[in-house]
Amino acid sequence: MAESATDRLTVENQPTSEGAYRLKGELHHSKDQACGFELTENFERFNQANDIYTRGQWDARIRSDKVINWFKGMFRPGLGARKAEGYSVRDFALRNAGWMGANLTIQRSLKQGRVDAFLDYILPYSDPNPEKIEIESPEVMSEEMKSVSRLFGADAVGITHTDMRWHYTKSFSTKTLAEKPYGIPDGLSNVIVIVTAMNYEAVKTYPSATAGIAVGHGYSKDCELAQNIATYILNLVYRAVACVNDTSLAIPYAIAAGLGEYGRNGLLITKDFGPRVRIGRIHTDLPLVHDQPISFGVREFCDSTCQRCAAACPPKAISFGAPEARIPNQSSIIGIRKWQVDAERCFKFWVNQATECGVCMRVCPYNKDISRWWSRAYYRTWTRLAASPFKRLALKLDVALGFGQRIKPGEFWRRFRSR
Amino acid sequence: MAESATDRLTVENQPTSEGAYRLKGELHHSKDQACGFELTENFERFNQANDIYTRGQWDARIRSDKVINWFKGMFRPGLGARKAEGYSVRDFALRNAGWMGANLTIQRSLKQGRVDAFLDYILPYSDPNPEKIEIESPEVMSEEMKSVSRLFGADAVGITHTDMRWHYTKSFSTKTLAEKPYGIPDGLSNVIVIVTAMNYEAVKTYPSATAGIAVGHGYSKDCELAQNIATYILNLVYRAVACVNDTSLAIPYAIAAGLGEYGRNGLLITKDFGPRVRIGRIHTDLPLVHDQPISFGVREFCDSTCQRCAAACPPKAISFGAPEARIPNQSSIIGIRKWQVDAERCFKFWVNQATECGVCMRVCPYNKDISRWWSRAYYRTWTRLAASPFKRLALKLDVALGFGQRIKPGEFWRRFRSR
């Protein structure tokens, strides 16, 4: 289970004369093939200032009053509401109620110029004591950390090594509206990756503000859960830094930790919840063993058979073609061959909705409810079919049974109220 | 369902010449009998400065270095740990990880001299917009608020009216170590009372620091849930103030909202989770209808048959006798006939443990796991037996089946790790 030291990446990022961050040292990790990572020689680490949300704050081509209201609407009553099913004051109210927990984490360090969990890693609430507890073995400790993660609400958890290729080169300051230096403390060589499932019924209503409860509450759970786990480690008394949308790219970490595969819609496709998840990470110096990447047929299914997300995407931001290294714009990472998603088109649609969109999450055949035994049995059977030579049949069955269809927000509310 | 206006209490608190707060106006509410509230004519509203936790900060008879460390230990790694099963660094670590969410709420207003959720009500994160949404009817709105509460994790929810008899007269400032004026904004005449169940397996280990996860995580869930609900209301756009341990006495509110009965151990006994719950409240001006108090035999069972909590209490803080108005010390409210609990004895034991105790919660026959159908079926049958003339048989059966017995913290960890 444990990897040898030579498997670890020794790469560092170094600014080139043009200011781009190229990796110095090994570019490839021995696990990359199993993960499906195809890095090209011109790979560059990503600068968070190029993230589409961050560009919404500094890039004149993206920033607008509408964009600023899009951000503010998450926390201000009534902003964005209009006379349209799924976009009323009540729909936005439920979404914003869901964001409350994330808001507690975001607010925590705002005055120090930090946006914890979204631009900056979450500040640990205390230093660990210097005296560490005795660890029976990294294997036992890993099992313990998975139990702790599940106790606090993780729906899946995996462990991998810190991999600087996925770390941002710079972050962004909302105070100066400029990029700022960035990084996690040195020596945190292991990462616990956690996944929390989002509300299935709400996701069904995309596009709508109603569905936003799934994202808001998802982030809230993720923020607190990541801190629960980090706090446990700090109390053990090792070092730990909790991350959500900040610090690094969540998806490659989740893939390396054995939590799923990369899908055409640019999302992590997990084994149990498909793309309907939020991802958190805890970097730590706790001795742990690493999980292996998994494959359950997603890559082949997306590649050869399924384009539902591409066809359903309202702004046509998802590619119908094969994985490619050419990027649509500066909001994609350079030097990885993968299904590209056009973040500019995607975000423009979001801003016009005054809330996020997740149609590609709703229509994905891997997005199914597994909370009841019969729905779980169907999903297990379906994923096996989708991984077999009968991929087309699997897709046709899925469409015929009505999976992925939108339910109207009014219907969501009717069911919700009568529950 | 809806009460008439004349049912509402018009009482106000007025300082007497001796400084005590006596009620002016009606002392009794028409619901009191159904709630089991027996107020005497010398009733006085409670001053939070007399709460045993608050006295731990200002009262020389209670305050000590040990008490201060007891508070600090919740947030500082390793404090209180020792070489004893259930009190190791790991046990305290799990407890403190559970407190993380509550810590986010507590930290929020510390610099303004507030301890949100524990001494002060939780500051709303924004003002509501002036334009309110249309409410179909208070009945429909009440159902909606119950669905919203459950969506965010409430295990039970009830609605009642704001009742000033249960509100503190003064609160306490941790900055000046003196009492301070207190109160919720005017005009919030309805209260949504929420209940969240605590971890059954952890509670079984009382007395131990291991069990603290049930309390810490319970408070964390309660803090966030109360704010989720308040945020929803603010976004609707009515007024709402979320409370946890602050502002008022949680138990009479929960009883009035139909969530349970008062038990010999001084705790709320809920229908589904017995005493194993945390209680939150949201005061609001949203039009709502009120629930009726329930009775499922607890009062008679505690009164005539069961003294398990009193017998098991390590510092003998629970009365074996009948309800009485005489209070053991200033940490009890004056003028209510009820089973008295000696908070001084109770807290002294807590401080010596370096963590809270909940033996009275563990041994209570109403504390049962109902997460599986057979355990739920047994509990339902048992509560009916306990409410029948065969009360003694119910108690004997419970003891014979081993319910309420302590499991060793080591056994908790063994089961926990292998989950």
ipTM of the complex: 0.93
Give the bridge partners for B21, in sequence order.
Answer: B15
Q: Do B131 and A78 touch (CB under 8 A)?
A: yes
Q: Which of A24, A32, A40, A41 is nearest to A7 (CA)?
A: A32
With a pLDDT cut of 70, the percent of chain B lying above it is 94
Res B35 pLDDT > 60:
yes
Contacts B108 to A, Cβ<8 Å: 104, 107-108
Rounded to a whole number, what is the distance in Å from the CA of B330 to chain A's nearest CA?
A: 35
The answer to whether residues B212 and B356 touch, using CB atoms and an 8 Å cutoff, is: yes
Check CB contact of B87 with chain A, cutoff 8 Å: no
Res B130 pLDDT > 80:
no
Using left for φ > 0, alpha for ψ between -120 and 50, and beta otherwise, residue A177 falls in left
Place of tokens 């016009």: A352
Determine the Cα–Cα distance for residues B79 and B86; give it in Å rounded to an integer.
14
Rounded to a whole number, what is the distance in Å from the CA of A332 to chain B's nearest CA?
A: 34
Query: What DSSP assignment string belongs to B212-254?
Result: HHHHHHHHHHHHHHHHHHHHHHHTTT--EEEESSSSB-HHHHH
List strand residue ranges (DSSP E) for A178-232, in order.
178-181, 190-197
* A114-133 residues touching B, CB cutoff 8 A: 125-126, 128-129, 131, 133
Model's pTM, two decimal places?
0.94
Q: Do B77 and A237 touch (CB under 8 A)?
A: yes
Place of tokens 């229509």: A363
- For residue B24, what pLDDT is reported? 57
Q: Do B108 and A107 touch (CB under 8 A)?
A: yes
- Cα B107 to Cα A341, A359, B100, B345, distances in angstroms: 39, 37, 10, 30
For A43-57, A122-136, B18-32, B102-116, which range has the lowest pLDDT when averaged over its residues?
B18-32
- For residue B10, what pLDDT is reported? 35
The beta-carbon neighbor of B77 closest among A92, A129, A151 is A129
Check CB contact of A135 with chain B, cutoff 8 Å: no
Check CB contact of B201 with chain A, cutoff 8 Å: no
Place of tokens 């038990």: B263
Q: What separation, in Å, do the N-terminal and C-terminal C-alpha atoms of chain A show?
A: 45
Q: Which tokens in the block code for residue B135?
A: 């409410």
- For residue A14, what pLDDT is reported? 47
Q: Do B97 and A126 touch (CB under 8 A)?
A: no
Q: What is the DSSP letter of B342?
A: -
Determine the Cα–Cα distance for residues B299 and B258; give it in Å rounded to an integer.
14
- Give B22's pLDDT tier (boundaries 50, 70, 90): low
pLDDT in tens, A256-270: 999 999 999 999 999
**Which site among B235, B373, B417 would you substitute to test the A interface, given the most A Cβ atoms closer than 10 Å to its Cβ?**
B235
- For residue A237, what pLDDT is reported? 84
Check CB contact of B208 with chain A, cutoff 8 Å: no
- Give A4's pLDDT tier (boundaries 50, 70, 90): very low
Q: What's the sign of the alpha-carbon dihedral B273, B275, B278, B284?
A: positive
Query: What mean pLDDT is predicted for residues A135-162?
Result: 96
* B210-229 residues touching A, CB cutoff 8 A: 213, 217, 220, 224, 227-229
Check CB contact of A234 with chain B, cutoff 8 Å: yes
- CA quadruple B311, B312, B316, B320: dihedral, nearest 10: -30
pLDDT in tens, A85-123: 999 999 999 999 999 999 999 998 998 899 999 999 999
For A170-184, B197-211, B311-325, which range has the lowest pLDDT when averaged over its residues?
A170-184
Query: What mean pLDDT is predicted for residues A301-321?
Result: 98
Query: What mean pLDDT is predicted for residues B371-375?
Result: 95
CB atoms within 10 A of CB A393: 13
- Better pLDDT: A343 or B179: A343
Q: Look over chain A and give the mean of its residue pLDDT values, rounded to a whole number.
A: 92
- Give A133's pLDDT tier (boundaries 50, 70, 90): confident
Rounded to a whole number, what is the distance in Å from the CA of B194 to chain A's nearest CA?
A: 16
- Better pLDDT: A174 or A337: A337
- Give B237's pLDDT tier (boundaries 50, 70, 90): confident
- For residue A134, what pLDDT is reported? 84
- Residue A180 φ/ψ, nearest 5 degrees: -145, 155
Query: What mean pLDDT is predicted for residues B288-314?
Result: 98
**Chains A, B: CB pairs < 8 Å:** 148
- For residue B20, what pLDDT is reported? 53
Query: What mean pLDDT is predicted for residues A67-80?
Result: 91
Q: Do B125 and A107 touch (CB under 8 A)?
A: yes
Query: What mean pLDDT is predicted for residues B130-143?
Result: 88
- For residue B71, what pLDDT is reported? 94
For A133, name the nearest residue in chain B, comparing CA atoms only: B89
- For residue A234, what pLDDT is reported? 94
Determine the Cα–Cα distance for residues A359 and B240; give it in Å rounded to an integer.
33
- Vertex A29 angle, CA A38 and A135, to 5°: 135
Res B377 pLDDT > 80:
yes
Determine the Cα–Cα distance for residues B138 and A416; give it in Å rounded to an integer.
17
The beta-carbon neighbor of A100 closest among B76, B227, B236 is B227
Res B11 pLDDT > 50:
no
Determine the Cα–Cα distance for residues A417 and A198; give it in Å rounded to an integer.
19
- CA quadruple B129, B132, B133, B134: dihedral, nearest 10: 180
Determine the Cα–Cα distance for residues A369 and B234; give it in Å rounded to an integer.
31
